A and B are shown apart, each in its own frame.
Chain A
Amino acid sequence: MAIDKFTTITATAVPVPYENIDTDQIIPARFLKATTRDGFGENLFRDWRYDKDNNPKKDFELNNTKYSGPILVGGKNFGSGSSREHAAWAIHDYGFKVVVSSFFADIFKNNSLNNGLLPVQISEEFLEKIFSAIDKDPKAQFKVDLENQEISIMSTGEKEKFDINPYKKECLINGYDDIDYLLSMKDKIEAFEKTRVKPYTY
């Protein structure tokens, strides 16, 4: 089953300039009761977005109409904590295609890549530049070019390269899915199983 193909994006961004944003903030546990993948965007950053009477909290960036766009920019160590893939689903379902940070938690990174959400990891200096570009002009444009593994600040022309596993890059560009790949290896997996004898199989 294919995931969305990723091409180049040039767009505005939404900042959430806090460090250590964990997946409990991205999607609180009480919203994990669904048995489908849909609709999690509604509860993205639920407790930061709404107070207990469900009124939007004005000071939270997602509620500030001056910010918009498919690029989410978070502080260092984004997506730590729980392995819940619901966090990646929520961000994607809300409409984001890219998450930028200077550091990602491992499981979050894998989960994002498995859902066509591109994690872009950059240096702390460049992250600061992006935050200040948005600060200066909330409509500042950024270009995320997966093919060339490059993110640019359009107003200043500054660029930085980012890393991505070549296999994962191929998957995203072509919309391939890991499970299809693994299913195509079934014979090899079964052959491997035959090589495993006691006591290794305990």
Chain B
Amino acid sequence: MAGKTLFDKVWDSHVVSEIEGGPSVLYIDRHLIHEVTSPQAFAGLDKRGINVLRPENTIATPDHNVPTLDQHLPIKDYLSSFQVNKLTENTEKHGITLFGLNTPNQGIVHVVGPEQGLTQPGMTIVCGDSHTSTHGAFGSVAFGIGTSEVEMVLATQCILQPKPKSMRINVEGELKPGVTSKDIILYIISQITASGGTGYFIEYAGSAIRSLSMEGRMTICNMSIESGARGGLIAPDDTTFKYMKGRKYAPEGADFDKAVAYWKSLRTDDDAEFDKEIHFRAEDIEPMITYGTNPGMGTGITQYIPREDEIEPSNLKSFRKSMQYMGFNAGDKLIGKSIDYVFVGSCTNGRIEDLREFAHYVKGLKKANNVTAWIVPGSKQVEKQAIEEGIVEILEEAGFELRQPGCSACLAMNDDKIPEGKVAVSTSNRNFEGRQGPGARTMLASPFTAAAVAITGEIADPRQVFGILEPEKAM
């Protein structure tokens, strides 16, 4: 019998039962909830007259809808405030831990989980949010769910789920200077397309992946969903264990050692088989940027937007629509395009490592006058660290302001909307039409590239702007 993949090991150990010809009943260890996709689920419980089965397995935090300025004041937008209050009400009623607004642990749910040690190897983790895939960086099976499924988990701690197919993406070799984890994942999606992962759960492997920090791994797993994949995961190793140690909700002492012994078994067996396997070379990747309206429409920053004759005929209609929306022409050179906004933040790149990197490069320089920049920490914890490490001052001297934590312009549910027709370089994960505000035009890139754009006011190759050969990790 062939061996098991990491995904199989975690999934199979959580199957309560299987329905013939149907989905598995999968037990969920950790359920994260936020204000936007949970109210209807709680209302459903009320309607059925039932309670949350295991309130201790669920953690809540408001993030999507919160302002990023003046968080100490009541939320002005009535509907946002209603939704955030509803979360407080529902969690109080059902005895669920809430990291509320203005408390030290609040933040974007996918930033909070790992930094609090709630995310651990071998767990099943779900959240009513597609970027739950982020938590796979720890070797957990983590995926986004809809609100009916949130209700399922609240009611029964289980979910009905068909087992996805398995894919392994190997990135071998050494990254070139100036190439970051965000570039790896944008590159992968540009190669396999925005639907290439649909139906699969991806394991990322290879020396280039193993060399990444936990933050870097989270950025990769975070964007798995942008290839359509159900989720992505990476086998836990010493980097993971080191990160886990001492976190608030992580096991301690002898329990930690026991846990590590178990976590070490969480790896794909040598003879395991995947439904699909893809290989990339780290050397082929350069700093990436997107030019279109789905995350698969990306290319190396020194490259050109494809010409129409390079587009598949069936895709031409969508491609033209996309170019029209972006105000770009097929065949355009990317470098030198003028940019209006820079957004650094989100569950993809709003962690402390991202802010450190951005600050490291803008230090002693000045923000370009034509650029409005929003730098938004992923959590209260990140904000605190940024203050303690002097990142805030570096940013201020360079003409930037650190806002308060939340999803912010990643999905523009609050006031942080990129105005119609304006072009933003964003470290978030989606460049869909209107994602960052009605009519907003989004180009996705790494914090390193965002720094170059913020300083020059146009699309620029960060390696040139900062004259680096070896990007010093700003640790």
Contacts and interface: CB of A to CB of B under 8 A. Distances in A.
B228 A178 contact: no
Contact of A179 (B77, B151, B225, B294): B151
A105 B433 CA distance: 18
Contact of B79 (A34, A105, A124): A34
Interface string A1-31: 1000000000000000111101011001110
A22 B40 CA distance: 22
Nearest to B21: A166
Interface string B228-255: 1010000000000000000000110001
A32 B413 contact: yes
Contacts of B39: 35-36
A37 interface: yes
B411 A29 contact: yes
A200 B251 CA distance: 11
B326 interface: no
B149 interface: yes
Contact of A107 (B120, B145, B294): B145
Given A17-B317, A83-B144, A22 B432 contact: yes
Contact of B438 (A19, A28, A110): A28
Contact of A77 (B13, B64, B122, B198): B198
Contact of B164 (A19, A106, A168): A106
B432 A37 contact: no
Contact of A88 (B23, B146, B262): B146
A111 B157 CA distance: 18
Interface stretch (A134-142, A148-156, A191-199): A191-199
Interface residues of B, number: 83
Interface stretch (A61-69, A92-100, A181-189): A181-189
B195 interface: yes
Given A165-B22, A167-B21, A200-B262, A188 B433 contact: no
A41 B387 CA distance: 44
Contacts of A52: 420, 438-439
B465 interface: no
Contacts of B23: 165, 167-168
A150 to B, nearest CB: 19
A115 B164 CA distance: 21
Interface string B383-425: 0000000000000000000000000000111000000100000
B108 to A, nearest CB: 14
Contact of B433 (A47, A167, A198, A202): A47
Residue of A37, A84, A182, A196 with highest tally of chain B CB at under 10 A: A182
B148 A77 contact: no
Nearest to B29: A201
B468 interface: no
A165 B83 CA distance: 35
Interface string A70-114: 000001110011111110100000000000000111110011001
A165 B19 CA distance: 11
A83 B198 contact: no
B21 A107 contact: no
A116 to B, nearest CB: 11
A35 B40 contact: yes
B27 interface: yes
Nearest to A38: B40
A198 B439 CA distance: 51
Contacts of A28: 434, 438
A18 B161 CA distance: 29
B259 interface: yes
Contacts of A179: 44, 48, 148, 151-152, 155-156
Given A25-B434, A30-B413, A179-B48, A198 B255 contact: yes
Contact of B156 (A77, A83, A185): A185
Contacts of A107: 130, 144-146, 230
A192 B27 contact: yes
B315 interface: yes
A165 B164 CA distance: 13
B218 interface: no
Contacts of A86: 147
A47 B65 contact: no
Nearest to B77: A33
Interface string B51-77: 001000000000011000000000001
A129 B257 CA distance: 61
A110 B198 CA distance: 13
Given A85-B146, A106-B228, A106-B230, 11 more contacts: A22-B294, A29-B413, A52-B439, A88-B146, A165-B22, A165-B162, A178-B152, A178-B160, A179-B151, A189-B16, A202-B250
Interface of B: 13, 16-17, 19-23, 25, 27, 29, 36-37, 39-40, 43-44, 47-48, 50, 53, 64-65, 77, 79-80, 82-83, 86, 120, 122-123, 128-130, 144-149, 151-152, 155-158, 160-162, 164, 194-195, 198-199, 225-226, 228, 230, 250-251, 255, 258-259, 261-262, 294, 314-315, 317-318, 321, 411-413, 420, 430, 432-435, 438-439
Interface of A: 1, 17-20, 22, 24-25, 28-30, 32-37, 47, 52, 75-77, 80-86, 88, 103-107, 110-111, 114-115, 124, 165-168, 178-179, 181-183, 185-186, 188-189, 192-193, 196, 198-202
22 contacts: A18-B318, A18-B321, A22-B430, A25-B432, A30-B412, A30-B413, A33-B77, A33-B80, A52-B420, A81-B130, A81-B430, A84-B37, A110-B145, A111-B146, A166-B22, A167-B19, A182-B158, A183-B50, A193-B157, A198-B259, A199-B255, A199-B259
